[in-house]
Amino acid sequence: MRKQQRYDKTIEALNAFYPNAETELKYQSPFQLLVAVILSAQCTDKRVNMVTPALFERYPNAASMALASEQDLFELIKSISYPNAKSKNLLKMARRLNDVYNGEVPQERKDLESLAGVGRKTANVILAVLFDQNVMPVDTHVHRVSRRIGLSKNAKTPAETEKQLMEVLSERNDIALLHHQLILLGRYVCKARKPLCESCPLTDCCKFYLSKLSKQKAV
């Protein structure tokens, strides 16, 4: 199967399987999404959603969080991964956002990446979800699923996966939707240890599944 054909089949199947895919992080403003995405690094969305209601009740915007104490932020997020580093980053991020950007989440990558706790993947999520920009955030799910399906080839890092995906997808206007679809597929179907191939909508175009099927037939 040619690369473009595999991409086309994948997108068609995922559009049918997850027509309304979106982030599972809970938020009510651009600032709250930025905070949630920072907290979600190496942590599940489910766990993040457990701590953000109390966090956002006390600190709903950059102006209020900029006045917080690092210890108070730590106490509110201590049940998630790396709370020490993340509480420091949240405070620095909120202060810079408040001082430099008038409390508004910026729309340019360089500005986003100047904020504490914001790397390329986090910036891509914000650009895609909030500002509808054609970028592909690549987390562990997107990285793994892309490799298994055959959308990427020999990509050793998320950055390499992003580069390969964008070489094919750059002209499309639905990249953000595909990002969410690949995450949901990786989270609930194409799991890291025990992928549920029989429940997957991509069995007719997935390299991993077709290879497994071929080996079973050869036995």
Cβ neighbours of residue 22 closer than 8 Å, sequence gap 6 or more: 129, 180
The answer to whether residues 93 and 75 touch, using CB atoms and an 8 Å cutoff, is no
The answer to whether residues 21 and 181 touch, using CB atoms and an 8 Å cutoff, is yes
User: Could you tell me which of 158, 156, 124, 155 has the C-alpha nearest to residue 139?
Assistant: 158
Catalytic site includes residue 132: no
Find the catalytic residue in 3, 8, 99, 139: 139
Greatest Cα pair distance in the chain:
65
Task: Give, in order, the Cα–Cα distances in Å from 91 to each of 113, 135, 200.
Answer: 15, 27, 41
Task: Return the SS3 of 75.
Answer: helix
Q: What is the rounded CA–CA span in Å between residue 157 and residue 43?
A: 19
CA 144 to chain centre: 13
Find the catalytic residue in 26, 46, 121, 217: 121
Q: What is the rounded CA–CA span in Å between residue 205 and residue 127?
A: 30
Q: Would you state the structure tokens that stand for residue 151, as one six-digit string?
A: 């959308």
Task: Give, in order, the Cα–Cα distances in Å from 108 to each of 91, 121, 214.
Answer: 21, 14, 47
Catalytic site includes residue 139: yes
Q: Would you state the structure tokens that stand for residue 68, as one six-digit string?
A: 């917080």
Active-site residue set: 121, 139
